[in-house]
Structure 1
């Protein structure tokens, strides 16, 4: 019997890599007639370095994430995924994507974009996708290519 996924989690953060993962997740959800759960994690550690932090910064990040998630939700529904929901979480993206959401929502496949970090960033903070691969208790698919299985054109990053 073929494996059929029932609940697919895809993490989106606005990066090109996450966009590729999202579009493939829509395709996989369609093919499996699965529910698609979108998650955006607002990393609260980013706010800890701001000495004069006020609630407006968090509100702005939340509002922007909500608008993005609603766009993704519309895209998935327009591509015939019937059960699409999203959540915006606060905290460590690694733990939330690898453990918290999968346990809470009975996820059987996590789809993430390949890391957008350079080698130095990976040494100091580690890649979310790398952590998810090691810690998740369900299948993980790391997406590197577009819907035609071609690598996207990479622009030089400085």
Structure 2
């Protein structure tokens, strides 16, 4: 019997890798039948605002508004590509635990599809990547997207001229 995934979670952060994971997740959701649901997740890392002395809620509102616009576009894309059960949520806090444990538990996720890298290079260097944490600590299966929609390695612009 083939493994079927019915509750697929895709964390998105605005990076190209996250968008690719999302597009692959649309295809996986569609292949798993009409009962399969796709949930998009954006986590606003509130720790990023802790050291800003002039912090006010308008900063978080701006980030949230930008995320909503992107997520609305993703929902439209999913629906146009045959996924009827698609939703999103925006959470606030530490992305690692929210992605690996909190939201998967709440939605009974059976698969997390996540991009190999995200936007926050500083965090990746200092305390490890969100993706690495999720692969170790998630409460369900995790698929790390490392290839494009044709399953070819993602082109790295930094290595473009090297052979």
Same fold (TM over 0.5): yes
Unaligned runs of 5+ in 2: none
Helix, strand or coil at the partner of 1:111: strand
> Which one of the candidate residues 78, 81, 85 is aligned to 1:79?
81
- Structure 1 moving runs of 4+ over 6 Å: none
> Which one of the candidate residues 122, 134, 145 is aligned to 2:147?
145
Q: CA deviation at 1:49?
A: 2.1
Bigger shift: residues 92-101 or 109-118: 109-118
Q: CA deviation at 1:137?
A: 1.6
**What is the TM-score of this pair, normalised by structure 2?**
0.91
Contact 2:105–2:139 under 8 Å retained in 1: no
Helix, strand or coil at the partner of 2:156: coil
Counterparts of 1:50-129 in structure 2, within 5 Å, are 50-116=52-118, 121-129=123-131
Contact 2:9–2:41 under 8 Å retained in 1: yes
2 CA distance for matches of 1:62 and 1:137? Answer: 27
Aligned length: 156
Q: Deviations over 1:62-97 (max 9, x none)?
A: 111111110000000000001000000000110000
Query: Which residue pairs with 1:19 in the alignment?
Result: 19
Helix, strand or coil at the partner of 2:158: coil
Query: Which residue pairs with 1:40 in the alignment?
Result: 42
Helix, strand or coil at the partner of 2:9: strand
